Amino acid sequence: MTSMTIVESSVKPGLMAFQASTEDQAEVQELILKTARWLHSKGSTQWGNLLKGKDDHNLGGTIERGEVIIFRTSEDHALAGAVILQQQPSAWDRKLWGLDDADSEGGTSVYLHRLVVDRDRAGKGLGHELMQWIEQGIRFAGKDRIRLDCIAGNDKLSQFYRQCGYTYMGETEGFNIFEKMLIEM
Which pLDDT does position 185 carry in this prediction? 47
- From CA 54, how far away is CA 47, in angstroms rounded? 9
- From CA 34, how far away is CA 40, in angstroms rounded? 10
- From CA 28, how far away is CA 169, in angstroms rounded? 29
Which pLDDT does position 157 carry in this prediction? 92
- From CA 159, how far away is CA 150, in angstroms rounded? 11
- From CA 155, how far away is CA 160, in angstroms rounded? 9
| Beta bridge partners of residue 15, listed in sequence order | 12, 73
Phi then psi for residue 106, to 5 deg, are 140, -70
Q: What is the pLDDT along the chain (185 residues), one digit of tens a residue?
A: 457 899 889 999 999 999 999 999 999 999 999 999 998 998 888 888 899 989 888 999 999 999 999 999 998 999 999 999 999 999 899 999 998 765 555 689 999 999 999 998 888 899 999 999 999 999 999 999 999 999 998 899 999 999 999 999 999 999 999 999 997 64
Which pLDDT does position 103 carry in this prediction? 56
Instruction: Say if CB 25 and CB 63 are below 8 A apart.
Output: yes
Phi then psi for residue 65, to 5 deg, are -85, 0
With 0.85 as the threshold, say if the pTM is over it. Answer: yes
Rg of the chain in Å (alpha carbons) = 15
- Contacts for 156 with CB less than 8 Å, ≥ 6 apart: none
